[in-house]
Structure 1
Amino acid sequence: MEVEEHQSNIWEGYVDWRNKPALRNRHGGMLAASFVLGVEILENLAYLANASNLVLYMRHYMHFSPSQSANNVTNFMGTAFLLALLGGFLSDTFFTSYHIFLTSAVLEFLGLNILTIQARSPTLKPPECDQQVNSICQQVEGGKAAILFTGLYLVALGVGGIKGSLPSHGAEQFDASTPRGRKQISTFFNYYVFCLACGALIAVTFVVWVEDNKGWEWGFAISTISIFVSIPVFLAGSSSYRMKIPSESPLTTIFKVVVAASLNSCIHRNPSGAVVNMVPSPPSNPNTTSREEEATEEEIKAVIETETPSESLKFLNNALTNKPIHPSLECTAQQVEDVKVVVKMLPIFACTIMLNCCLAQLSTFSVQQAATMNTKLGSLKFPPASLPVFPVLCIMILAPIYDHIIIPFARKATRTEMGISHLQRIGIGLVLSTIAMAVAALVEVKRKRVAIESGLFNETSNNKPLPITFFWIALQYLFLGSADLFSLAGLLEFFFTEAPIKMRSLATSLSWASLAMGYYLSSVIVSVVNSVTGSSTHTSWLSGSNLNHHHLESFYWLMCVLNGLNFVIYLFWASRYKYRASGRSSE
Structure 2
Amino acid sequence: MAAAAAEDQESGLDDYTKDGTVDRKGNPTLRSNTGGWKACSFIVVYELIDRMMFNGIAANLIIYLTTKLNQGTVTASNNVTNWTGTVWITPIFGAYVADAHLGCYRTFFISSLASFMAMSLLTVAVSVPSLQPPPCLEPSKENCKQASKLQLAVFFGSLYMLAVASGGTKPNISTMGADQFDDFHPKEKSQKLSFFNWWMFSVFSGILFASTILVYIQDNVGWSFGYGIPTIGLGVAILIFVAGTPFYRHRLPSGGSPFLRMARVIVAAARNWRVPLPNDPNQLYELEVQQYPKIDSTPSFRFLNKAAVRTGSSHPWRSCTVTQVEETKQMLRMIPILICTFIPSTMVAQSHTLFIKQGTTLDRTIGSHFKVPPASLYAFVTISMLLSIVIYDRIFVKIMQRVTRNPRGITMLQRMGIGMIFHVLVMTVASRVEKRRLHVARANGLVRNGSGQVLPLTIFTLLPQFMLTGVADALLQIANVEFFYDQAPKSMKSLGSSYMMTSLGIGNFLSSFVLSKVSEITKRHGEGWILNNLNASHLDYFYALLAAMSGVNFFVFLGISQLYVYRAEVSDELNKKNEVG
**Structure 2 length normalisation: TM-score?**
0.89
1:455-488 per-residue CA deviation (whole Å, 9 max, x = no partner) reads: 323344233x222222221101111111111111
CA distance in 2 between partners of 1:36 and 1:193 (Å): 12
Asked whether 1:509 is paired with 2:489, we answer no
Residue in 2 aligned with 1:394?
Answer: 384
After the TM superposition, which residues 187-202 of structure 1 pair with which residues of structure 2 at under 5 Å, given as runs?
187-202=194-209
1:323 corresponds, among 299, 311, 326, to 311
Pick aligned residue for 2:324 from 335, 338, 342? 335
Alignment of 1:35-434 (within 5 A): 35-123=42-130, 125-126=131-132, 128-129=134-135, 135-142=143-150, 144-247=151-254, 248-265=256-273, 268-269=274-275, 273-274=276-277, 279-280=282-283, 309-323=297-311, 327-329=315-317, 330-379=319-368, 380-434=370-424
User: Which shows bigger deviation, 573-582 or 555-564?
Assistant: 573-582
Identity %: 33
Change in Cα spacing, 1:533 to 1:64, as seen in structure 2 (3 Å) is closer
Q: From the superposition, tell whether residues 54 and 131 of structure 1 become closer, same or farther in structure 2 (CA, over 3 Å).
A: closer
SS of structure 2 residue aligned to 1:251: helix
2:473 matched to 1:484? Answer: yes
Residues in 2 aligned to 1:85 and 1:324: alpha-carbon distance in whole angstroms: 35
Secondary structure (helix, strand or coil) at the match of 2:299 reads coil
Separation in 2, partners of 1:76, 1:135: 26
SS at match of 1:137: coil
For 1:548 and 1:57, locate their aligned partners in 2 and report how far apart those are by CA, in whole Å. Answer: 21
| Alpha-carbon distance in 1 for matches of 2:321, 2:168 | 31
AA in 2 matched with 1:342: M
User: Counterparts of 1:93 and 1:306 in 2: how far apart (Å)?
Assistant: 19
Q: Of 7, 16, 19, which aligns to 1:10?
A: 16
Tell me how far 1:200 sits from its aligned partner: 0.9
Separation of aligned partners in 1, 2:128 and 2:532: 32
Gap change, CA 1:546 and 1:36, over 3 Å in 2: same
> What CA distance in whole angstroms lies between the structure 1 residues aligned with 2:248 and 2:264?
33
Distance apart, 1:131 and its partner CA: 10
Partner of 1:287: none
Give the Å deviation of 1:349. Answer: 1.0
The aligned amino acid for 2:34 is: H
Aligned to 2:562: 575
Cα distance per residue 1:348-379 (max 9 Å; x no partner): 11111111111111122212222222222223
2:551 matches 1:564: yes
Distance, in Å, in 1 between the alignment partners of 2:64 and 2:418 is: 36
Q: Secondary structure at the match of 1:468?
A: strand
Describe the SS at the equivalent of 2:456.
strand
Give the 3-state SS of the residue equivalent to 2:543 in structure 1: helix
Shift of 1:5: 6.4
1:152-204 superposed Cα distances (whole Å, 9 cap, x missing partner)? 12211222221111111101111224554343222111111111211111111
How far has the Cα of 1:229 moved from its partner?
0.9
Displacement of 1:43 in angstroms is 0.8
Q: In terms of Rg, which structure is larger? A: 1
- Pairing 1:548–2:535 present: yes
Between the aligned partners of 1:276 and 1:425, the Cα distance in structure 2 is 37
| Cα offset, 1:525, TM superposition | 1.6
Separation (CA, whole Å) in 2 of partners of 1:136 and 1:568:
46
Q: 1:79 to 1:131 in 2, by over 3 A?
A: closer
Q: Which position in structure 2 is the counterpart of 1:22?
A: 29
Change over 3 Å in CA distance of 1:576–1:469 after alignment to 2: same
CA contact (8 A) 2:72 2:532 kept: no
Given that residues 451 and 535 in structure 2 are in contact (C-alpha distance below 8 angstroms), is that contact kept between their aligned partners in structure 1?
Answer: no
The Cα of 1:104 is off from its aligned counterpart by 1.5
Amino acid at match of 2:260: T
Partner-residue secondary structure (3-state), 1:328? coil
- Report the Cα distance in structure 2 between the residues aligned to 1:193 and 1:572, rounded to whole angstroms: 28
Matched-pair contact (CA < 8 Å) for 2:22–2:249: yes
Cα distance in structure 1, aligned partners of 2:77 and 2:515: 13
- Aligned residue for 1:53, secondary structure, equals helix
CA deviation after TM superposition for structure 1 residue 120, in Å: 2.8
Q: For 1:511-566, what per-residue CA distance to the aligned partner results, in whole angstroms no more than 9, with x for missing partners?
A: 11111111111122223323444445x23322x33223322222211111111111
| AA in 2 matched with 1:95 | L
Q: 1:545 to 1:191 in 2, by over 3 A?
A: same
Q: CA deviation at 1:8?
A: 4.8
Q: Which amino acid aligns with 1:252?
A: L
Shift of 1:275: 5.1
**Alignment equivalent of 1:34, drawn from 41, 46, 51:** 41
How far apart are residue 59 of structure 1 and its match? 3.5
- For the Cα contact (< 8 Å) 1:105–1:158, is it kept in 2? yes
**Where does structure 1 lack aligned partners over 5 or more consecutive residues?**
282-304
Give the counterpart letter for 1:27 in structure 2.
T
- What is the deviation of 1:11? 2.5
Letter in 1 for 2:363: N
Q: What is the root-mean-square deviation of aligned Cα atoms in Å?
A: 2.8
Structure 2 equivalent of residue 291 of structure 1: none
Task: Give the CA deviation at 1:137.
Answer: 2.1
**Structure 1 residue 19 displacement after superposition:** 3.0
SS in 2 for 1:462: coil
- Deviations along 1:331-353, one digit per CA (max 9) or x if unpaired, are 00111111111111111111111
Q: Kindly tell me: are residues 322 and 278 of structure 1, through their superposed partners in 2, closer, same or farther at Cα, counting changes over 3 Å?
A: farther
C-alpha contact (below 8 Å) 1:275/1:320 kept by paired residues: no
The 1-side partners of 2:492 and 2:88 are apart by 18
Note closer, same or farther for the CA distance 1:176–1:309 as it changes in structure 2 (3 Å cut).
same
Instruction: Work out whether residues 280 and 307 of structure 1, in 8 Å CA contact, stay in contact via their aligned partners in 2.
Output: no
- The residue identity in structure 2 corresponding to 1:523 is S
- Give yes or no for contact 1:16–1:241 (8 Å, CA) kept in 2: yes
Between the two proteins, the alignment pairs up a number of residues equal to 553
Instruction: Work out whether residues 262 and 328 of structure 2, in 8 Å CA contact, stay in contact via their aligned partners in 1.
Output: yes
Q: 1:177 to 1:349 in 2, by over 3 A?
A: farther
Task: Report the Cα offset of residue 113 of structure 1.
Answer: 1.0
The answer for unaligned runs of 5 or more in structure 2 is: 285-292, 573-581
Question: Shift of residue 127 of structure 1?
Answer: 5.0
Please tell me whether the aligned partners of residues 437 and 457 of structure 2 are also in contact (alpha carbons under 8 angstroms): yes
CA 1:501–1:206 in structure 2 vs 1: closer, same or farther (change >3 Å)?
same
